[in-house]
Amino acid sequence: MSGDGGPVTIAHYYRTRWGSHDEFVALFDRNHWPILREQLASGRFLGVTASKPRFHGDGRADWDFLVTITYRDWAAVEEHSDAVIARRLYPDQAAFRAEEQRRFSLLEAHWDVVLEGHELPGAQAVGRRRSPGMPNSVV
């Protein structure tokens, strides 16, 4: 965790039920991404990425969708503006809540991990750009 008031990155892991991955991602893209995008525009988030394993069965297959969010600072993590944004973006709140409930019903598991940077020896000498929120990383 960033104790210095700097950026904080949290990885949100999702494991969908068998056969539900595409529907989960479609609902995420339709209902949740616009809320995240608003928070990027406002400056609460510095970065948002979404990833999935390239090959079926990679690794232990604990997850099949990963979203990383880099927050401006810890205060931004504790700020809860999602509901306000959702009410503005989705006037039909009953339909929005039903789709969000459906999205979460497609999950077998979901967990969040606050990431802490690890300084790689000699990384400063490489001189490449740093990943937002992970000041000790080289991308």
Query: According to the model, what pLDDT value does residue 138 have?
Result: 44
Would you kindly state where each structural domain of the chain is located, as residue ranges?
Answer: 8-117
| In the predicted structure, residue 127 carries a pLDDT above the cut 90 | no
Q: Which helix (H) or strand (E) holds 46?
A: strand 45-51
Encode 50-117 in three state secondary structure: EECCCCCCCCCCCCCEEEEEEECCHHHHHCCCHHHHHHHHCCCHHHHHHHHHHHHHCEEEEEEEEECC
Backbone angles phi, psi at 54, to 5 degrees: -70, -40
- What tokens appear for 131 in the block? 């990943």
**CATH of the domain spanning 8-117:** 3.30.70.100
Q: Which amino acid is at 83?
A: A
- What tokens appear for 122 in the block? 């000699």
Local confidence band at 130 (pLDDT 50, 70, 90 cut-offs): low
Query: According to the model, what pLDDT value does residue 1 have?
Result: 43
Q: What is the mean pLDDT of residues 73-82?
A: 92
Give the tens place of pLDDT for each residue, 60-76: 678 999 999 999 999 99
Global model pTM greater than 0.95: no
